[in-house]
Amino acid sequence: MGRQAIIEVRDLVAKYAEETIFDGISFDVFQGEIFVILGGSGCGKSTLLKHLIGLIPPAAGRISVAGCDICRSEEKAFRDMLKKIGVLYQGAALLGSMTLADNVALPIKEYTDLPQVSVERLVKMKLGLMNLEGYEDHLPSQISGGMKKRAGLARAMALNPEILFFDEPSAGLDPVTAAELDNLIIHLNSTFGTTMVIVTHELESIFAVAHRVIMLDKNTRGIIAEGDPKYLRDHSENRFVRQFFNRLPGLANEAEGLEKR
């Protein structure tokens, strides 16, 4: 009660050609929370993320991000909204021909008129926040997978965004490095109050970082669970949800023709 929604999704319908991915889903993301989008393979997690950041327009419904109706806003309002968000893509999406410093500087140069000396200070600060001091002049090919993720996160944080979006942040990382990234996410959230929206199916990360989750299902084309992941693991009345959170076999059979009970 009393929490302010920074993202509002209402009656979202998403389609690829004639295939419906979501059929009228609605949810809120509240300011300052770590919100996780999860579900089985092919349920549309990444598709939903692309809708939330404006890469794909919905077939129907409304999406509001940081006060901007991204489906109907004018270009200036949409660009202003982009300044308020940062995105860490699954493979970090660093430009291989540019140094880490140049990668982090890209959004700063794109969206501000700061002088070069200020850009350089900001870049050094953001890389330092990710424990990447001294790596400013390295190319992405010269650093490890975990360091690439942190460099991508430094770029996502470049403009001090209100909302950070993550697409499978732990993908391709060993367990220790994944845990370190989880701790970094928690630290950034608690220190800066940044709202986090994370797409993942990694249970250890979900239980470690999530304040609240929604679970998507490709058969119902909707949301079949919402809430605290530990509560859903232990108390959900939906057998498929309990199986997912407890990593039990038989998902394909249980999901077939699933109806929320």
Residue 253 has pLDDT above 80, yes or no: no
Looking at the fold, whether 156 and 171 belong to one and the same domain comes out as no
Same domain assignment for residues 71 and 104? no
Q: How far apart are CA 178 and CA 181, in angstroms?
A: 5
Task: Tell me: do 254 and 195 sit in the same domain.
Answer: yes
Given 160, 175, 207, the domain boundary residue is 160
Average predicted confidence (pLDDT) for the chain:
90
102-142 tens-digit pLDDT = 999 999 998 899 999 999 999 999 999 999 999 999 999 99
33-53 per-position pLDDT tens digit? 999 999 888 888 999 999 999
* 150 and 168 together in one domain: no
Same domain, 153 and 166: no
pLDDT > 80? residue 1: no
Between the CA atoms of 4, 8, 11 and 12, what dihedral angle is there, to the nearest 10 degrees? -160
Query: Would you place residue 256 in the very low, low, confident or very high pLDDT band (cuts 50, 70, 90)?
Result: very low
Q: Which of 106, 135, 160 is the last residue of a domain?
A: 160
Interval 82-98 mean pLDDT: 89
Q: pLDDT per residue over 218-248, tens digit each? A: 889 999 999 999 999 999 999 989 999 998 8
Same domain membership, residue 120 and residue 66: no
Q: What is the pLDDT of residue 3?
A: 81
- Quick check: 151 pLDDT over 70? yes
Whether residue 125 is found in the same domain as residue 248: no
- Which band of pLDDT confidence, cut at 50, 70 and 90, is reported for residue 63? very high
Supply the CATH number for residue 11's domain: 3.40.50.300
Name 77's Cβ contacts closer than 8 Å, sequence gap at least 6.
68
List the structure tokens of 128: 């330092």
Instruction: Say if residue 53 is in the same domain as residue 170.
Output: yes
Assess whether 155 and 167 both reside in one domain.
no
The pTM for the full model equals: 0.89
| CB neighbour list of residue 235: distance below 8 Å, 6 or more residues apart | none
Tokens of 21: 């991915």
- Count up the domains in the chain and report the number: 2
Mean predicted confidence (pLDDT) in 162-179: 91
> Are 145 and 196 in the same domain?
no
Pairing verdict, β 68-69 and 163-167: unpaired
Over residues 20-37, the pLDDT tens digits come to: 999 999 999 999 999 999
Q: What share of the chain is helix, strand, coil (3-state, %, to 5)?
A: 40, 25, 35
**Dist. CA 22–CA 220, nearest whole Å:** 8
Residue 158 tokens, joined: 């470049």
DSSP 224: E
Q: Which domain holds residue 251?
A: 1-84+161-261
pLDDT value, residue 72: 87
Domain stops at, among 160, 190, 220: 160
| Same domain (yes/no): 32, 145 | no
Same domain membership, residue 67 and residue 56: yes
